[in-house]
C-alpha cells in the first residue's frame, strides 16, 4: 500500500521553528522552514541533519513551501538554502516573497550586529536565497514537476499567508500554516475547497480556546483608547512591526475617521513603513472592505497616522503611539513607556502575548514598581490593559476547516502537546477520522488507498450501456466484461477483441464437453434423430437444428452421437458448449437429456 | 419674427391634419406581414450553408413578429427544421419557436404537436434540451389545458433518462412547472413493469434525481420541487431527509437550493417529530431544520451563507431554547465554570493562554473541566448568528442582522439576548451594516430596556461622523426604554456632546429628547433641579435662551412634565417664561402644559390642547363654508365680489398657518381664488371701455395679471399632490381663461394680423385639447367659460380673428366663477433647506476659477418622484443663475411622503473684491406632458392623450418651492 509520511523537524507538539517534512508518492517536500524565538543556540533552527548527514539537501527534497512571512515559519530559510545547501525550488506567495526578506534582514541585523554572533547568514545569502523563490498565486495550480502539483489557498492570519494543497497523483496533503477563520479589519477568513486530502496538517495554537466575538474585543479596545484620549491621556500600544500592527492601525484609523477625532496617532518608523508599502500593494490579499474601497482610497494610506519622532513623546496633549517591540523589552516602546509610566492618565495597551521576564509580562502581572538598570525604580501609574488580537484559528475554527476540507486523516502541529491531546480527542469523536500529533523527529505514516485511474474504451462503455439499465447509478457498483491491459505505466480497459488485436494474440475458444452414455439399440443416426425430436418437444422456445453432418445444435450446444466401441447398444452422447453458455442454458439441456 | 411664427403655425397646422394619416402606415405594416414570413422562407432557402442560415435566423430574431403571422413563420421554421442537418441551426430554430410562442396574442397550442414530433426524431442532446425549453414556454403560455400538460409531462418523463445533463435539467424544469398539483400523475397508458413503475407521482420522480451524478441536475431537481411547492403542491415529508443530505453536497448551488428546500419543509411540517441520528432523542422538525440551516451559516461559500442567514430569519416557529443557542458560541464550552475556576487559580497565568481578550488569562481552560462537556462542532444551532455577524462578507452580515430582527420581533426574550450582539454591530467597518443594525435595534426596541452599560455603547456611536448613522441613532433613542435616571442623564449628556460637535443635528437631537422626556417622566423628575440648575435658596443666573443645549434640556423637561404634574413646581420663574417662548417658537417640540398659577397661559393652551380631531373638523368646516360663500358669487362683475374674495383669501391663508393638516388644502384654495381675483380685476380695468389706441399704457397691469395667473395655474397643477382630475380640469380651465385674456390683450395692442392669426389658432387648439382631456369632466363645468366657448366652437373655428376676440371678450366677462371642489387629501409640496442655515458670517473662501463644494441638506415633503423633479438653483449676485440636478443617490426616504436631499453643489465664480451673498433655493421642475402621463390619478384619460399633437404637450418650467438661503462666498483671485 502506498504511504504518506510526515515528520515534523520543528513545530511538532511545539510552537516555533515550523518545519515539516512530507513524503508523498515518492516526493519529498519541506513545509516551512522557521526558527525558534526561544533559543539562541543550534536549537534555533530545525535539525536538517535529519534529512542528510552531509552534503546538500537538493537531492533529497523536491521543493520547499513557505506558508507566510513570520520568522517562525521562514527564519531558517537562508540558513538551509545557502549554508546547508539547497538549490531546488522554494515556493511562497507574492506578499510573502516581498516581505520575508525585510524580516530576515532585520533578524540578521539583530543577531549579528547587536548580539555579535558569527557564523550566521549574510545579507547576500538572503538575496541569493530569495532568487530561488518561485511566487505563487492564490488558487493557482503549480506543477512542480510532472507529478507533483501544489495549490495555494487563502489563510487569513497575516498578509500573504497561504494554505497549500499538495497533490501527487490521487494522494494529497493540505498544510495550513497559520490561519484564521474569523476575518479581521484587514484580512479575510481562511477558505478551502472540499478537496478531501489524505492528511490535513493543521496548526493548533488555540486548540483549547473558543474565543469571544471579535467585535467585543474591538469595541473594548476602541472604547479604552477613546476614553483615555478624552481624558487627555497618552496611549502607548507596543506592537510587533507586522501583522497585528496593521490591523490595529486600520481599526484606529477608521475609528478616528468615524468619530471625527483629532488627537494624533503615531507609528514608530523603520521596518513598518517599508512593510506598510507592501500592504498598500497587495490589496487583493486583504478583506472585502479594503478591496472594495481602495479605488477611492487605499485604507493603508493612513490619514491620521503619522510617522513618529522621538521628540513627540514629550509633546503635551493626548496622542496614541504604536511602538515596537511588542513586549516592552527594549527599543522605542520601552523608552516611551518609561516617559509615560508616571502619569495615571496615560495608558498602555498590550495587544499580544508577552514572554516571561519582559516588562510587558511584569506589568500585566500587576507589578507597579519596576526595577530598571542602574538600580533605579520606576513607578507604574499608568493604566495597563490587555487586549488579544491574535489571528489564529480557535478550536471552533479548526473544526470548521476540517468540515470544509473533509480530510481522511488529521495531523496537528504548532501547538502545545496537552492542548493538542484535547483537540485530538474531539476530532476523533466528531469526525471519526484518525488524528496524529507527532513530536519533532517522529514520523507519522498514513497508508492511503489511492484510486487507480483506468482508461476505458468508449465502445466498450457504450456497449455496456446498451445492455444495462437506463443510466449508471452512481451509488451502485456495476460489473462489466472487459480486458485490463497494463502497458507502459498506463491502464486500459478494452473489449477482449480489441485486446487480442492490440497484443497480437490469437483467440482461443474454450469449449466444455461431456459424455453421456445411453442405452439405445438404434443406429447412431436414429438415436440422434430421436434425441432431436425429443428435444424439440421438450425445449420449446429454443432453436434446435438437425444438421446433415450428424449433429444436433441447440442454440450453441453441439450434440453428437457415436456408438461405444465395446457395446453397440451403448451410445455415447457428446455434448460440447462454449464458455459463454456455461452459465446459460446448458444445464437445462443436460437435465433434459439425462431424463 | 412674424414669418417665423407663421411658419410655426403652419407646422402645427400640418400636424393636426396628419392625425388621420397616422393610421395608414399601420395598414402598410399589415400588408407587409405575409411578406415577412415569405422573406424568411426565401432567406432560409437561399442559405447555402449553416452559417448563412444561422445569420438569417439571428437577423430575423431581432425583429418582432406580429401575432397574426406567427403561425406562418412557425410553419416555415419547422419545415426548415426537418431539412436542416446542422445542430446549431436546429438549436436556433428551436429557440426561435420558444420566443415566437411568447408573442402576445398568439396561442401556441397549434404548434405543440409539431414540437413534440420534432422531439422524437431529434438526436442532438443540445437541440433536445432547447426543444424541451420551447415546450416549457408553450406549457406556461397555456395554463388552462390539463390535457396538454399531461402530454408535456409525459414527454418529460420519457426524456428524463437522457444522458445529457441539459435534457434532464429541462425535463425536471418541465415537471416542476407543469406537473399536476392535485392528482398524482399516473402512467396509465404504459404497462406495468416499465422502469418508472405504475402510479408514481411527480414528487417521487423528481426526488429520484436528487442523487443524480451531475450537480446541475441535482439543483434543477431541487428547484423543480420548490416550483411545485410554489404552485401549491404539498411536498411530502419524505423529501426532508433527502434534502438534508444535499446540504452537504460538494456544489454550492445544490447546497443553496437545498437550504431553501429544507426551509420549505420546515414551514410545512413544523411540528412533526424527527429522530436525532446516533441517539434516541427526537425533536421537532422545525428545530432540526433550524439547526441544520444554522450549520450552513458557516458554509464555505458565501452565497450559501447569505441564503442560510436570510432563511433563519423566517423560521419563527423554532423553539426558544434552540433560538437562544444561535447566539451562544460558548454554550458547549461551559464558559462560566471555566471562568470562575480561573479566578481562583491565578497561577495558571504562567501558562499564558490568551483567549477572550478582555483580561490577561481570564479564561485559560483547565482541561479536566472541558474534555467531555465541550462540543466543538455544534450539533445544534450553536453560535450561528455569532458566526454570521462576524462573517467576512458584509452581505452575510446584513442578512444575519435582518434575520436577527425578524426573530427578535417575535420573541421578546430573544430580543433581550441579541441586544449585545446588535450593539456590537454598531462598530462594523461597513456603514451599511452599522446603519442596518441601528434600524433593527429600533424595530425591536419595544421589547427591550437598555441597561446602563448597553446604553453607554449605544451612545458612543453618537459621535460618528456620518449623519445617517447619527440620525438613525436619534431615531433609535426616540423609541428606547431605559431603566434608570442615570441612563437619562447619560443620554442627555451624550446628546449635548453630539450637539456641540455637530450643531447641524440640532433638530434631530431636540426631537430625540422630546421622545425621551415623554417616555420617561418619572426618571426625569429627580433630575430636574440639576438639569435646570435651580437652587433651593439662591437664584441662579438665567441661562441663554438661544443656546441650543439649553433648549435641548428644556425640551426634555417640558415633555416629561406633560405627564408629571408635580414637575412644574420645581421650575423657576424664567423657566416659565422660556416655556411660553418655546411653546410659541417650537410648538412641535414643546407640548402644552397645565401650569398652576399661570392662568393666561393655561387659558390660551386649553384652546389649543382641546381634542385635536375636533379642531381639525371645525377647521374643515370653516374651509368649506368659506368656499361656499365664494361660490355665491355668480358673476365676476358683481359688486362686492372682490372684497369677498379678498377676505376669503386672507382667511384661508391664516387657516393654513394655524391648522397644519389643512395647510395644503387651504393654500390650494387661496391660490385658486387669487387667480380668480386677478382675472376679475383684469377684466374690470377701465381699458375695456377705451378705444384701442389709447389703452396701450394701461393694459400693462392686465398683461401682468394674465401672466401671473398662468404661473399660478402651473403651481396649482404641479405643486400639490392628491389632485383628482376634477381639480386638474378646473385648473386648466383657469389657464384657458388666462390665455383668452392674453389673446384679447394682444388683439388690442398689436396690429399685426399674422401674429393674431397665429395666436388664435393656438388658442383654438388649446380649447380642443382641453375638450379632449377633460371629456369626462365637462358636465361639471356647466355654465363656465369653456362650456360657453364649446357651444360657440363651430362658429369660432370659422370666423375671423377679430370676431373671435370679440366673442372671447364677452364670454370672459359673462362667465361665472367656477366652483372649486376640494379633494380628500391635498398636500403642498414643500422643501426646507436645513443646511446651509444662512446664519454664518464667515464667507466661504475659494480661489476663483476653481470650484467649492457647498453642502446642502433639505427635507422635501409631498414631492412625487423627487429624483427627477427637484433641482437646486444657485443665484449669484450678478444675476447669473445655475440649476443643478442632484444625483438620484442623494435622495433618501426617511418616511412616507418625506424625502431628504443631502447633496453637494459646486460653486464657482470669477473673483470678487468683497464677500457677497449667493442665494440657494430648490426648484420643482415640471413638464406638462410628463407629469400628466405618469401621474396615476390622471391615468383615466391618458389614452386619449396619446393622439395629441406633440406641439401642444410639453410646457416645461420650474417652480421655486423653498425659501432661498443666503450663503456668503468669497472667490479670491488666484495667486501666481
- Nearest C-alpha of chain B: how many angstroms from A529? 41
Closest CA to A305 of A346, A248, A348: A248
State the Rg of chain A over Cα.
38
Most confident of A156-170, A240-254, A542-556: A156-170
| Closest A-chain CA to B208 | A473
Q: Do B195 and A470 lie within an 8 Å CB cutoff?
A: yes
pLDDT in tens, A282-317: 888 888 888 888 888 888 888 888 888 888 888 888
Write out pLDDT tens, residues B182-221: 544 444 443 333 333 334 678 888 888 888 888 999 999 9
> Would A88 be classed as within a structural domain?
yes
pLDDT over 80 (residue B39): no
| 3-state SS class at A201 | strand
Identify the domain boundary among A336, A360, A386: A386
Of the candidates B614, B629, B697, the one whose C-alpha atom is nearest the C-alpha of residue B669 is B629
Task: Say if CB A129 and CB A255 are below 8 A apart.
Answer: no
Do A38 and A137 belong together in one domain? yes
Alpha helices in B829-957 (DSSP H): 866-869, 928-934, 942-946, 950-953
For the cut 80, the answer to whether the pLDDT of residue B797 exceeds it is: no
pLDDT of residue B188: 40
Exactly one of A82, A171, A203, A247 is catalytic; name it: A203
Per-residue pLDDT tens over the stretch B415-437? 887 887 888 888 888 888 988 89
The beta-carbon neighbor of B161 closest among A260, A356, A471 is: A471
CB spacing of A215 vs B425 below 8 angstroms: yes
| B300·A475 Cβ contact <8 A | no
Tell me, what's the pLDDT at A175? 95
Structural domain includes residue A71: yes
The whole-angstrom distance between B446's CA and the closest CA on chain A is 24
Among the partner-chain residues A193, A289, A425, the one whose CB lies closest to the CB of B430 is: A289
Would A252 be classed as within a structural domain? Answer: yes
A496 and A438 co-located in one domain: no
Do A289 and B250 lie within an 8 Å CB cutoff? no
A471 touches chain B (CB under 8 A): yes
Grouping H, G, I as helix, E, B as strand and the rest as coil, residue A573 is strand
Mean pLDDT of chain B: 76
User: What's the mean pLDDT in B144-160?
Assistant: 83
Same domain, A260 and A357: yes
Q: How does residue A140 score in pLDDT terms, banded at 50, 70 and 90?
A: very high
| A16 and A76 share one domain | yes
A46/A190 same-domain check: yes
Same domain, A425 and A377: no
Whichever domain contains A566, its CATH number is: 3.30.310.50
Considering chain A, what is the average pLDDT of its residues?
A: 84
The percentage of chain B sitting over the pLDDT mark of 70, rounded to a whole number, equals 79
With an 8 Å Cβ cutoff, are A193 and B427 in contact? Answer: no
Largest CA distance in chain A: 134
CB contact under 8 A, A396 and B383: yes
* Phi and psi torsions of A208, nearest 5°: -115, 10
Do A197 and A318 lie in a common domain? no
> Which pLDDT belongs to residue B26?
40
Domain at A427, CATH number: 3.60.15.10
Confidence of residue A176 (pLDDT cuts 50, 70, 90): very high
Say if residues B170 and B214 touch (Cβ distance below 8 Å): no
d(CA A84, nearest CA chain B) in Å: 35
Nearest by Cα to B326 from B338, B341, B315: B315
Q: Judge whether A291 is closer than 8 Å to chain B, CB to CB.
A: no
- A106 and A241 share a domain? no
Burial of A366 (0-12, 13-18, 19+ CB in 10 A): exposed
Of A159-163, B61-65, B801-805, which has the strongest mean pLDDT? A159-163
| More confident: B361 or B223 | B223
Statement: residue A484 has pLDDT above 70? yes
Examine the residue annotation and report whether A203 is marked as an active-site residue of this protein. Answer: yes
How many C-beta atoms lie closer than 10 Å to residue B48's C-beta?
8
- A403 and A532 housed in the same domain: no
A470/B contact by beta carbon, under 8 A: yes
| Together in a domain, A301 and A347 | yes
Per the domain annotation, does A408 fall within a domain?
A: yes
pLDDT digits 0-9 by tens, B629-683: 777 766 656 667 778 888 888 888 888 777 777 778 888 888 888 888 888 777 7
Q: What is the mean pLDDT of residues B267-290?
A: 83
> Which region among B203-212, B548-557, B954-963 has the lowest average model confidence (pLDDT)?
B954-963
Domain span at residue A175?
3-210+391-447
Q: Partners of A142 in the beta sheet?
A: A150
pLDDT of A475 reads 61
- Residue-wise burial string across B678-710, b where 16 or more C-beta atoms lie within 10 A, e elsewhere: bbbebbeeebbeeeeeebeeebeebeebbeebb
User: Are B390 and A215 in contact (CB < 8 Å)?
Assistant: yes
Residue B347's pLDDT band, with cuts at 50, 70 and 90, is very low
Pair B467, B432: CB distance under 8 Å: no
B456-467 average pLDDT score: 83
Q: Write out residues 498-517 of B within 8 Å (CB-CB) of A.
A: 501
Q: For residue B637, what pLDDT is reported? A: 60
Which residues of chain A lie closer than 8 angstroms to B383, CB-CB?
396
Tell if the pTM clears 0.80, that is, is over it: no
Interface mutation vs chain A, best among B332, B364, B377, most A CBs within 10 Å: B377
Q: What is the pLDDT of residue B3?
A: 53
Please identify among residues 124-163 of chain B the ones whose CB lies closer than 8 Å to any CB of chain A.
161, 163
Residues of A (137-166) whose Cβ lies below 8 Å from B: none
Give the residue from A361, A386, A411 where a domain finishes. A386
| CATH label of the domain that carries residue A362 | 3.40.50.10890
Amino acid B353: pLDDT = 36
Nearest to B441 by CA among B413, B470, B479, B388: B479
How far off is chain A from B155, nearest CA to CA, in Å? 16
Read off the pLDDT of each residue in B944-963 and give the average, rounded to a whole number: 58
Q: What is the pLDDT of residue A4?
A: 93
This complex has an ipTM of 0.79
Question: Are A212 and B355 a contacting pair at CB < 8 A?
Answer: yes
Comparing CB atoms, the residue among A182, A288, A350 nearest residue B393 is A288
- Note whether residue A474 is domain-resident: no
pLDDT recorded at residue B636: 56
Give residue A190's pLDDT: 92
Quote the minimal CA–CA distance from B356 to chain A in Å: 5
Distance from CA of B297 to the nearest CA of A (A): 11
Predicted confidence (pLDDT) at residue A19 exceeds the cutoff of 50: yes
Has residue B342 got a pLDDT over 50?
no
Contacts of B463 in chain A (CB under 8 A): 258-260
| Confidence tier at A409 by pLDDT (50, 70, 90) | very high
Q: Is the pLDDT of residue A225 over 50?
A: yes
pLDDT at B376: 46
CA of A65 to nearest chain B CA: how many angstroms apart?
A: 25
> Is B424–A219 a contact, with Cβ atoms under 8 angstroms apart?
yes
- Cα angle A474, A475, A478 (rounded to 5 degrees) comes to 75
Q: What is the pLDDT of residue A117?
A: 81
Contacts across the A-B interface (CB distance below 8 Å): 143
B250, B367, B421: residue with CB nearest A422 = B367
Instruction: Please name the member of B352, B353, B463 whose beta carbon is closest to the beta carbon of A259.
Output: B463
Higher pLDDT pick, A148 / B4: A148
What single DSSP character describes residue A264? -
pLDDT at residue number B256: 93
Q: What is the DSSP string of A46-75?
A: --GGGT-SSS-STTT-SEEE---S-HHHHT
Q: Do A388 and B356 touch (CB under 8 A)?
A: yes
The chain A residue lying nearest B333, using CA atoms, is A210
Contacts of A373 (CB under 8 A, 6+ apart): none
Interchain proximity B390–A194, CB inside 8 Å: no
The structural domain count of chain A equals 4
What 3-state DSSP class applies to A584? coil
Beta bridge mates, B969: B844, B916
Do A163 and A226 lie in one domain? The reply is no
Whether residue A90 sits in one domain with residue A125? yes
Q: Residues A111, A120: contact at Cβ < 8 Å?
A: yes
- Rounded CA separation A509/A507 (Å): 6
Amino acid at each position: 500500500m502506498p504511504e504518506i509520511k510526515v515528520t515534523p523537524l520543528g513545530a511538532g507538539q511545539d510552537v516555533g521553528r515550523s518545519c515539516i517534512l512530507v513524503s508523498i508518492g515518492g516526493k519529498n517536500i519541506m513545509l516551512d522552514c522557521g526558527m525558534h524565538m526561544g533559543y539562541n543556540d543550534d536549537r534555533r533552527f530545525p535539525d536538517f541533519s535529519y534529512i542528510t548527514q552531509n552534503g546538500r539537501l537538493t537531492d533529497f527534497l523536491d521543493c520547499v513551501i513557505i506558508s507566510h512571512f513570520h520568522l517562525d515559519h521562514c527564519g531558517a530559510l537562508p540558513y538551509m538554502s545557502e549554508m546547508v545547501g539547497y538549490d531546488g525550488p522554494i515556493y511562497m506567495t507574492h506578499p510573502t516573497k516581498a516581505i520575508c526578506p525585510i524580516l530576515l534582514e532585520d533578524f540578521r541585523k539583530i543577531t549579528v550586529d547587536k548580539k555579535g554572533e558569527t557564523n550566521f547568514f549574510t545579507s547576500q545569502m538572503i538575496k541569493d536565497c530569495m532568487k530561488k523563490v518561485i511566487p505563487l498565486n492564490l488558487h493557482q495550480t503549480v506543477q512542480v514537476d510532472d507529478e507533483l502539483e501544489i495549490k495555494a489557498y487563502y489563510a487569513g492570519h497575516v498578509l500573504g499567508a497561504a494554505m497549500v494543497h499538495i497533490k501527487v497523483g490521487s494522494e494529497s496533503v493540505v498544510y495550513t500554516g497559520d490561519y484564521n477563520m474569523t476575518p479581521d479589519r484587514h484580512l479575510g477568513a481562511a477558505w478551502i475547497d472540499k478537496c478531501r486530502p489524505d492528511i490535513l496538517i493543521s496548526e493548533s495554537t488555540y486548540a483549547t480556546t473558543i474565543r469571544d466575538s471579535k467585535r467585543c474585543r474591538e469595541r473594548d479596545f476602541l472604547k479604552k483608547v477613546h476614553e483615555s484620549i478624552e481624558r487627555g491621556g497618552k496611549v502607548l500600544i507596543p506592537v510587533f512591526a507586522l501583522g497585528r500592527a496593521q490591523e490595529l492601525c486600520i481599526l484606529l484609523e477608521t475609528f478616528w475617521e468615524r468619530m471625527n477625532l483629532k488627537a494624533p496617532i503615531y507609528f514608530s518608523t523603520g521596518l513598518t513603513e517599508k512593510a506598510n508599502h507592501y500592504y498598500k500593494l497587495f490589496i487583493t490579499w486583504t478583506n472585502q472592505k479594503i478591496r472594495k474601497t481602495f479605488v477611492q482610497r487605499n485604507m493603508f494610506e493612513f490619514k491620521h497616522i503619522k510617522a513618529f519622532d522621538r521628540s513627540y513623546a514629550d509633546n503635551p496633549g493626548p496622542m496614541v503611539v504604536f511602538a515596537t517591540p511588542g513586549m516592552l523589552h527594549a527599543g522605542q516602546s520601552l523608552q516611551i513607556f518609561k516617559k509615560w509610566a508616571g502619569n495615571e492618565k496615560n495608558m498602555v495597551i498590550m495587544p499580544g502575548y508577552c514572554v516571561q521576564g519582559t516588562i510587558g509580562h511584569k506589568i500585566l502581572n500587576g507589578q507597579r514598581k519596576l526595577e530598571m538598570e542602574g538600580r533605579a525604580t520606576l513607578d507604574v501609574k499608568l493604566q495597563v490593559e490587555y487586549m488579544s488580537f491574535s489571528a489564529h484559528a480557535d478550536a471552533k475554527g479548526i473544526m470548521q476547516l476540517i468540515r470544509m476540507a473533509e480530510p481522511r486523516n488529521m495531523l496537528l502541529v504548532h501547538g502545545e502537546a496537552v492542548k493538542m491531546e484535547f483537540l485530538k480527542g474531539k476530532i476523533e469523536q466528531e469526525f471519526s477520522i484518525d488524528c496524529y500529533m507527532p513530536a519533532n523527529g517522529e514520523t507519522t505514516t498514513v497508508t492511503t488507498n489511492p484510486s487507480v485511474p483506468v482508461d476505458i474504451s468508449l465502445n466498450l462503455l457504450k456497449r455496456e450501456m446498451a445492455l444495462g439499465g437506463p443510466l449508471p447509478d452512481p451509488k451502485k457498483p456495476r460489473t462489466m466484461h472487459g480486458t485490463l491491459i497494463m502497458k507502459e505505466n498506463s491502464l486500459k480497459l478494452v473489449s477482449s477483441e480489441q485486446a487480442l488485436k492490440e497484443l497480437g494474440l490469437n483467440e482461443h475458444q474454450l469449449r466444455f464437453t461431456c459424455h453421456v452414455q445411453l442405452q439405445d439399440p438404434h443406429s447412431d443416426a436414429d438415436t440422434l434423430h430421436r434425441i432431436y425430436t425429443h428435444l424439440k418437444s421438450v425445449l420449446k422456445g429454443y432453436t434446435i437444428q438437425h444438421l446433415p453432418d450428424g449433429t444436433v445444435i441447440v442454440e450453441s450446444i453441439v450434440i453428437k452421437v457415436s456408438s461405444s466401441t465395446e457395446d453397440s447398444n451403448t451410445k455415447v452422447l457428446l455434448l460440447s458448449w462454449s464458455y459463454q453458455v456455461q452459465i446459460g442454458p446448458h444445464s437445462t439441456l443436460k437435465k433434459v437429456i439425462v431424463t | 419674427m412674424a414669418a417665423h411664427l407663421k411658419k410655426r403655425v403652419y407646422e402645427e397646422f400640418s400636424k393636426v391634419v396628419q392625425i388621420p394619416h397616422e393610421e395608414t402606415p399601420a395598414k402598410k405594416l399589415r400588408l407587409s406581414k405575409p411578406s415577412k414570413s415569405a422573406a424568411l422562407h426565401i432567406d432560409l432557402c437561399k442559405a447555402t450553408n449553416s452559417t448563412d442560415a444561422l445569420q438569417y435566423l439571428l437577423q430575423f430574431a431581432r425583429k418582432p413578429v406580429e401575432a397574426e403571422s406567427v403561425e406562418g413563420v412557425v410553419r416555415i421554421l419547422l419545415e426548415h427544421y426537418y431539412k436542416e442537418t446542422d445542430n446549431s441551426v436546429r438549436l436556433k430554430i428551436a429557440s426561435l419557436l420558444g420566443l415566437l410562442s411568447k408573442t402576445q396574442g398568439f396561442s401556441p397550442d397549434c404548434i405543440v404537436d409539431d414540437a413534440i414530433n420534432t422531439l422524437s426524431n431529434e438526436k442532438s442532446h443540445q437541440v433536445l434540451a432547447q426543444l424541451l425549453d420551447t415546450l416549457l414556454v408553450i406549457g406556461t403560455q397555456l395554463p388552462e389545458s390539463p390535457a396538454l400538460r399531461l402530454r408535456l409531462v409525459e414527454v418529460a418523463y420519457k426524456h428524463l433518462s437522457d444522458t445529457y445533463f441539459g435534457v434532464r435539467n429541462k425535463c425536471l424544469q418541465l415537471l416542476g412547472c407543469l406537473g399536476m398539483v392535485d392528482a398524482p400523475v399516473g402512467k396509465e397508458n404504459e404497462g406495468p413493469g416499465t422502469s418508472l413503475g405504475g402510479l408514481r407521482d411527480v414528487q417521487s420522480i423528481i426526488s429520484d434525481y436528487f442523487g443524480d451524478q451531475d450537480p446541475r441536475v441535482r439543483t434543477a431537481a431541487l428547484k423543480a420541487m420548490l416550483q411545485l411547492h410554489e404552485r401549491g403542491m404539498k411536498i411530502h415529508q419524505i423529501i426532508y431527509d433527502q434534502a438534508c443530505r444535499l446540504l452537504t453536497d460538494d456544489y454550492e448551488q445544490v447546497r443553496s437550493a437545498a437550504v431553501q428546500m429544507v426551509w420549505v419543509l420546515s414551514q410545512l411540517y413544523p411540528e412533526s417529530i424527527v429522530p436525532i441520528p446516533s441517539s434516541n432523542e427526537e425533536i421537532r422538525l422545525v428545530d432540526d431544520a433550524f439547526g441544520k440551516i444554522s450549520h450552513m451559516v458557516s458554509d464555505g461559500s458565501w452565497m450559501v451563507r447569505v441564503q442560510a442567514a436570510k432563511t433563519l430569519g423566517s423560521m419563527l416557529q423554532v423553539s426558544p431554547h434552540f433560538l437562544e443557542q444561535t447566539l451562544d458560541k460558548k454554550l458547549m464550552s461551559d464558559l462560566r465554570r471555566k471562568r470562575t475556576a480561573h479566578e481562583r487559580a491565578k497561577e495558571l497565568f504562567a501558562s499564558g493562554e490568551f483567549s477572550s481578550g478582555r483580561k490577561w488569562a481570564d479564561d485559560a481552560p483547565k482541561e479536566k473541566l472541558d474534555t467531555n462537556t465541550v462540543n466543538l462542532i455544534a450539533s445544534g444551532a450553536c453560535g450561528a448568528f455569532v458566526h454570521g455577524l462576524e462573517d467576512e462578507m458584509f452581505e452575510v452580515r446584513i442578512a444575519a442582522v435582518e434575520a436577527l430582527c425578524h426573530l427578535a420581533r417575535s420573541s421578546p426574550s430573544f430580543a433581550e439576548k441579541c441586544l449585545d450582539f446588535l450593539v456590537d454591530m454598531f462598530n462594523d467597518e461597513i456603514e451599511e451594516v452599522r446603519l442596518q443594525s441601528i434600524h433593527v435595534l429600533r424595530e425591536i426596541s419595544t421589547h427591550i430596556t437598555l441597561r446602563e452599560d448597553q446604553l453607554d455603547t449605544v451612545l458612543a456611536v453618537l459621535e460618528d461622523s456620518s449623519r445617517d448613522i447619527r440620525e438613525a441613532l436619534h431615531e433609535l433613542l426616540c423609541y428606547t426604554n431605559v431603566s434608570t435616571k442615570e441612563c437619562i442623564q447619560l443620554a442627555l449628556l451624550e446628546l449635548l456632546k453630539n450637539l456641540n460637535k455637530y450643531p447641524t443635528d440640532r433638530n434631530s437631537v431636540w426631537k430625540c429628547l422630546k421622545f425621551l422626556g415623554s417616555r420617561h417622566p418619572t426618571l426625569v423628575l429627580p433630575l430636574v433641579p440639576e438639569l435646570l440648575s435651580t437652587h433651593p435658596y439662591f437664584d441662579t443666573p438665567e441661562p441663554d435662551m438661544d443656546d441650543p443645549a439649553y433648549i435641548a434640556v428644556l425640551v426634555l423637561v417640558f415633555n416629561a412634565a406633560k405627564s408629571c404634574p408635580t414637575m412644574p413646581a420645581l421650575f423657576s420663574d424664567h423657566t416659565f417664561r422660556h416655556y411660553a417662548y418655546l411653546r410659541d417658537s417650537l410648538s412641535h417640540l414643546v407640548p402644552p402644559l397645565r401650569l398652576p398659577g399661570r392662568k393666561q397661559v393655561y387659558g390660551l393652551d386649553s384652546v389649543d390642547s382641546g381634542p385635536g380631531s375636533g379642531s381639525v373638523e371645525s377647521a374643515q368646516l370653516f374651509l368649506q363654508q368659506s368656499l361656499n360663500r365664494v361660490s355665491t358669487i355668480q358673476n365676476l362683475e358683481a359688486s362686492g365680489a372682490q372684497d369677498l374674495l379678498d377676505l376669503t383669501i386672507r382667511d384661508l391663508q391664516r387657516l393654513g398657518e394655524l391648522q397644519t393638516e389643512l395647510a395644503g388644502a387651504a393654500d390650494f384654495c387661496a391660490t385658486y381664488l387669487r387667480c380668480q381675483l386677478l382675472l376679475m380685476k383684469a377684466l374690470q380695468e377701465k381699458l375695456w371701455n377705451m378705444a384701442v389706441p389709447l389703452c396701450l399704457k394701461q393694459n400693462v397691469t392686465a398683461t401682468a395679471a394674465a401672466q401671473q395667473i398662468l404661473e399660478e395655474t402651473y403651481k396649482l397643477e404641479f405643486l400639490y399632490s392628491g389632485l383628482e382630475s376634477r381639480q386638474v380640469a378646473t385648473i386648466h380651465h383657469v389657464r384657458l381663461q388666462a390665455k383668452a385674456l392674453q389673446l384679447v390683450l394682444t388683439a388690442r395692442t398689436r396690429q399685426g394680423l399674422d401674429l393674431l392669426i397665429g395666436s388664435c389658432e393656438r388658442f383654438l387648439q388649446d380649447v380642443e385639447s382641453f375638450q379632449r382631456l377633460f371629456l369626462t369632466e365637462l358636465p361639471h363645468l356647466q355654465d363656465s367659460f369653456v362650456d360657453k366657448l364649446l357651444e360657440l366652437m363651430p362658429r369660432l373655428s370659422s370666423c375671423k380673428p377679430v370676431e373671435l376676440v370679440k366673442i372671447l371678450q364677452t364670454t370672459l366677462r359673462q362667465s361665472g366663477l367656477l366652483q372649486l371642489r376640494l379633494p380628500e387629501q391635498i398636500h403642498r409640496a414643500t422643501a426646507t433647506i436645513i443646511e446651509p442655515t444662512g446664519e454664518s458670517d464667515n464667507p466661504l473662501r475659494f480661489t476663483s476659477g476653481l470650484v467649492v463644494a457647498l453642502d446642502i441638506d433639505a427635507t422635501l415633503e409631498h414631492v412625487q418622484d423627487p429624483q427627477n423633479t427637484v433641482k437646486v438653483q444657485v443665484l449669484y449676485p450678478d444675476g447669473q443663475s445655475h440649476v443643478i440636478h442632484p444625483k438620484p443617490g442623494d435622495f433618501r426616504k426617511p418616511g412616507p411622503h418625506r424625502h431628504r436631499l443631502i447633496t453637494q453643489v459646486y460653486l464657482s465664480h470669477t473673483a470678487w473684491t468683497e464677500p457677497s451673498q449667493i442665494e440657494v433655493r430648490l426648484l420643482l421642475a415640471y413638464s406638462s406632458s410628463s407629469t400628466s402621463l405618469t401621474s396615476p390619478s390622471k391615468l383615466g384619460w391618458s389614452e386619449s392623450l396619446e393622439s395629441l399633437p406633440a406641439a401642444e404637450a410639453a410646457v416645461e418650467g420650474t417652480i421655486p418651492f423653498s425659501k432661498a438661503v443666503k450663503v456668503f462666498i468669497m472667490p479670491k483671485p488666484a495667486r501666481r
